[in-house]
Structure 1
């Protein structure tokens, strides 16, 4: 399989798994307004996904620029993927939990993440917080 064929295969898996779970209007939160090029490329891929699937991005914010306005219930909240789920970068995880708690009526999608916890008690705490939301998807894919 060529690189182009593999890229297309992965793109199709992501579109097939996520496109129908996300409404036509989205906001993207936890955008990487920092210098990690890998995170910025993931963000670019998320924006391309929205474009390909005809989703309208209403706004994009980092955890530092977001002030928690009222959001209509028909807007899907998407949280940036990457590698900050758990306790290594706790500010990002606390932000996700805050979003989940403040928007119980919105559909929320957390794009794929690397997960790391040292503190096992925080795993239980986070599971309890995430399980309170009734329309939350933590995107994960088995890609072989």
Structure 2
């Protein structure tokens, strides 16, 4: 894939994102964004930075209120953003795998029955019929919930189960745009999950020459320093909301840059993380893709990002490593 083709794909997905979101953002209204991902996963930070980039580039807007699930204040939201839409951060936690986030968004629906609530693009997965019924009731009762989803399967599921607007929309991380990576340090890097979405246990003993990593390890002190510097940059603005936004943006940037540095070290990459796939596209690096435990990555690739020669849908870890080694040999 040439740099021109890479740029065309990213621009196409950015334009499609704007088509999905533009009607919900009005110049005379503030916006709020809830559920900032204050976690180690670099992919969630990529989504957040894409959300911020979209608002700035397409609407010249910054959110008037942001929060994590821990510091959410309904009263402060009402003061900082008394009208306008309430957005909820996107990702892959709509359903009952990461139920804490689903509980949070349903609580927001209950607290703000008269405000439009827009869910940035999500993947949907439910295991429990009872939990699905609870979500159906919450969405049906609210009546002004807008759900953006990242794949066709989630779109069809939402249309069949939820009484709300549903739109098929790319992941917000593409709004970051193309990134120039550092030169690789070794031929192949394996970036594999170590959480509840991984598929079984991976036996990596046959590949002692290939680094096997994940991107959920971070220096807490560096993130704390980034947050402090971000908050300090807002001291002259005298608003708690602006200080919080700059602090959280700084944390997201710290995590995202760590992730980009990490994956740039591989000349080719093998991964089962959706945002390693997306970030590999942003840096123009070839990568073999395995899936997570409920098909999230293949579903997304089928909808938006799978038609390039930068990515390969591997049938197994062995197949992915074989392909990545071939790509590394060609590049060398």
What TM-score, normalized by structure 1, do the two folds share?
0.92
List gaps (5 residues or longer) in structure 2: 150-167, 170-302, 305-332
- Tell me if the contact between 2:34 and 2:69 (Cα under 8 Å) persists in the aligned partners: yes
- Tell me if the contact between 1:73 and 1:105 (Cα under 8 Å) persists in the aligned partners: no
2:50 aligned partner = 45
Q: Which has the higher strand share?
A: 1
The 3-state SS of whatever aligns with 1:131 is helix
The 3-state SS of whatever aligns with 1:139 is strand
Report the CA distance between 1:126 and its aligned residue. Answer: 0.5
Report the CA distance between 1:53 and its aligned residue. Answer: 2.7
The 3-state SS of whatever aligns with 2:115 is coil
- Tell me if the contact between 1:73 and 1:106 (Cα under 8 Å) persists in the aligned partners: no
- Tell me if the contact between 2:52 and 2:62 (Cα under 8 Å) persists in the aligned partners: no
- The more displaced of 73-82 and 17-26 is 17-26
Alignment pair present for 1:36 and 2:45: no
1:89 aligned partner = 98
- Quick one: distance in 1 between partners of 2:82 and 2:146? 16
How many residues get paired?
144
Max Rg structure: 2
2:135 aligned partner = 126
Report the CA distance between 1:57 and its aligned residue. Answer: 0.7
Q: Which has the higher helix share?
A: 2
Alignment pair present for 1:61 and 2:67: yes
Report the CA distance between 1:74 and its aligned residue. Answer: 2.2
- Quick one: distance in 2 between partners of 1:104 and 1:22? 19
- Tell me if the contact between 2:24 and 2:85 (Cα under 8 Å) persists in the aligned partners: no
- The more displaced of 48-57 and 94-103 is 48-57
Alignment pair present for 1:107 and 2:116: yes
- The more displaced of 129-138 and 30-39 is 129-138
List gaps (5 residues or longer) in structure 1: none
2:192 aligned partner = none
Q: Which protein has greater RCO, CA pairs closer than 8 Å, 6+ apart?
A: 1
Report the CA distance between 1:73 and its aligned residue. Answer: 5.1
